[in-house]
Amino acid sequence: MSAINWLALEPYREMMGDDFVQDILQTYLSNSHSLVMQIHTAFGAQDAETFTRAAHTLKSNSAMLGAQTLADLCLQLETAGKQKQLQGLQPSLASLNLEHGQVCLEIQAKLQGE
């Protein structure tokens, strides 16, 4: 089962073309790694504000891309950050790493196939 619902990008493809969608995918690859790192760094520092902001941004970017499972994980993390409840999130962070890795693999495969 795919980690990305590729139909989510069709409106962008129809309005702006294939090159625009490729730009979206490449930008996501560049930015999402940094956001995941920010989430982990903020977690380690117990910096709820940075943690929440990074989780929110990754959630929005992932949802726009059609990576709904990843977006849902980010929503859980964002909610925990807003509540300043950063304890016990290691399993969620491990799931975030796995799902983000899968999303990135699928994006890379898509970019190589297009």
Q: Specify if 1 maps to a domain.
A: no
Instruction: Determine contact, residues 57/35, Cβ cutoff 8 Å.
Output: yes
Question: What local confidence, expressed as pLDDT, does residue 113 receive?
Answer: 85
Q: Can you read off the two tokens belonging to residue 35?
A: 């956001």
Q: Specify if 57 maps to a domain.
A: yes
Instruction: Determine contact, residues 2/102, Cβ cutoff 8 Å.
Output: no
Q: Can you read off the two tokens belonging to residue 71?
A: 């977006």
CATH number at residue 65: 1.20.120.160
Is 46 a residue whose pLDDT tops 90? Answer: yes
Q: Can you read off the two tokens belonging to residue 50?
A: 């940075």
- Is the pTM of the predicted complex or chain greater than 0.75? yes
> How do residues 51-70 score in pLDDT, each as one tens digit?
999 999 999 999 999 999 99
Q: Specify if 30 maps to a domain.
A: yes
For residue 1, what pLDDT band results from cuts at 50, 70 and 90?
confident
Domain hosting 61: range is 6-113
Q: Specify if 62 maps to a domain.
A: yes
Q: Which residue has the tokens 């297009």?
A: 114
Q: Specify if 99 maps to a domain.
A: yes
Is 114 a residue whose pLDDT tops 70? Answer: no
Rounded to the nearest integer, the mean pLDDT of the chain is: 95
Q: Specify if 10 maps to a domain.
A: yes
Domain count, the chain: 1
Q: Can you read off the two tokens belonging to residue 26?
A: 């490449």
